[in-house]
Amino acid sequence: MVFHELAVGAPLLKKVRNIVVYAIKSEKIVHAALLAATLFPNAIYHVVSAIPKYSSRTTYTKLYQEVMKNLAEDSLTNIKIALLQKGIRFIREKLLHSRKPSKELVRYIKNVKADLIVIATVPQMLGRMGAKLFLEASKIRKPMLIYTLVSKEPTKIKTIILLTSKLSLESEALLSSLIIAHRMNSEILVVTMETPEVLDIQLLNILTTIYNAKIHIELSTKHRDKLIEYAIEISNEADLLIVDRDIFAKHKYLYILPWIRKLSKEEEKLLSSSLTPILYL
């Protein structure tokens, strides 16, 4: 059946084999790793931390690096223990040393062919290291599961909010949402800016039948900036917020120069204020 082939094509989260968890000293990253384990229990989990490598050999620098190493190792251990208690069987630990930790992390992500990156925000948005990793990972368009400082810890994924500028059957975010909803027996609330085509609605009805998922569409007339604020407002009503990254694609503040990307104000707002974990696709 053509519709079935479309539905089970190659959405981003159809087959998640390798997951990279960026380990930091925070309970939030443990919660994020456990949520990933709930969603993808059969994946290989790469628990990775990175510490900066300095050329200076002063006593202060050596002490600082030793402290950073101990913190990183503690973070790796905490996440590994939590995953083992969750029943995850395949866990790999890696401590990276580099003068450019974020790029080294992305290199590792590419080498293991990661299907998902798990991170947690820290004070001041994503923190210097986290922001760099987020931006580097965005360049290679890897899905990310993100816990913010205020994200609650869901016991079950009952309600999913899908935030997208346009509802399209070609949307990987939509198909991935349907897959998760099917696995978790969840409902999906789609918040979109454009009225879907009649054909898309018909095909969507077929897809929801295939995946046995309940889906509701809320058409928002809000501007893109206001749409993000609205998503944050209603995020407390859901257990997972799935964001189609293309909603930020045309933002005028997204690039300083064509090759230098920075967080837009809307991304900063979303990644620091969402009351529910974010799956950024």
Say if residue 35's pLDDT is above 90.
Answer: yes
Mean pLDDT of 52-68: 70
30-34, 59-63, 100-104: which has the minimum mean pLDDT?
59-63
Under the banding of pLDDT at 50, 70 and 90, the label for residue 222 is low
The pLDDT of residue 220: 67
Mean pLDDT of 223-243: 85
- HSE-up of 25 (CA within 13 Å, CB side)? 9
Residue pair 108/94 in contact by the 8 Å Cβ criterion: yes
pLDDT at residue 74 greater than cutoff 50 = yes
Helix (H, G, I), strand (E, B) or coil at 260: strand
β-partners of residue 189 are 161, 216
How much is the pLDDT for 259?
41
Per mean pLDDT, which range of 36-40, 97-101, 143-147, 222-226 is the poorest?
Answer: 222-226
pLDDT of residue 3: 30
Q: Report the C-alpha gap between 99 and 51 in whole angstroms.
A: 8
pLDDT the model gives residue 117: 93
Is the model's pLDDT at 125 over the cut of 50? no
For residue 218, list its beta bridge partners.
191
**Strands 144-147, 159-164: parallel, antiparallel or unpaired by DSSP?**
unpaired
* 92-102 per-position pLDDT tens digit: 999 998 777 77
> Residue 200 and residue 169: Cα distance in Å, rounded?
6
Chain CA centroid to CA 166, Å: 20
- Give mean pLDDT, residues 144-156: 87
What whole-number distance in Å separates Cα of residue 78 and Cα of residue 49?
12
Alpha carbon distances (Å) from 172 to 68, 162, 246, 274: 38, 11, 11, 22
**Residue 183 phi, psi (nearest 5):** -65, -40
**pLDDT for 255 beyond 60:** no
CB atoms within 10 A of CB 90: 13
**Does residue 254 have a pLDDT over 50?**
no
E strands along 9-81, which residues?
18-22, 44-52
Q: Do the bridges between strand 260-261 and strand 255-257 make them parallel or antiparallel, or are there none, so unpaired?
A: antiparallel
Name the residue with tokens 């004070």: 123
Distance from C-alpha of 229 to C-alpha of 266, rounded to nearest angstrom: 8
Name residue 243's beta-bridge partners.
163, 280
Does residue 132 carry a pLDDT above 70? no
**Mean pLDDT of the region 59-81:** 83
Who has greater pLDDT, 266 or 163?
163
For residues 75 and 141, the model is more confident at 75
pLDDT band at 214 (very low <50, low <70, confident <90, very high): confident
* Lowest mean pLDDT, pick from 24-33, 38-47, 208-217: 208-217
Looking at residue 279, its pLDDT comes to: 93
Q: How confident is the model at residue 123 (pLDDT cuts 50, 70, 90)?
A: low
| Contact (Cβ atoms closer than 8 angstroms) between residue 156 and residue 184 | yes
Rounded distance between C-alpha atoms, residue 113 and residue 116, angstroms = 9
Specify the pTM: 0.84
Share of the chain above pLDDT 70, in %: 75
82-91 pLDDT, tens digit per residue, is 999 999 999 9
The answer to whether residues 241 and 276 touch, using CB atoms and an 8 Å cutoff, is yes
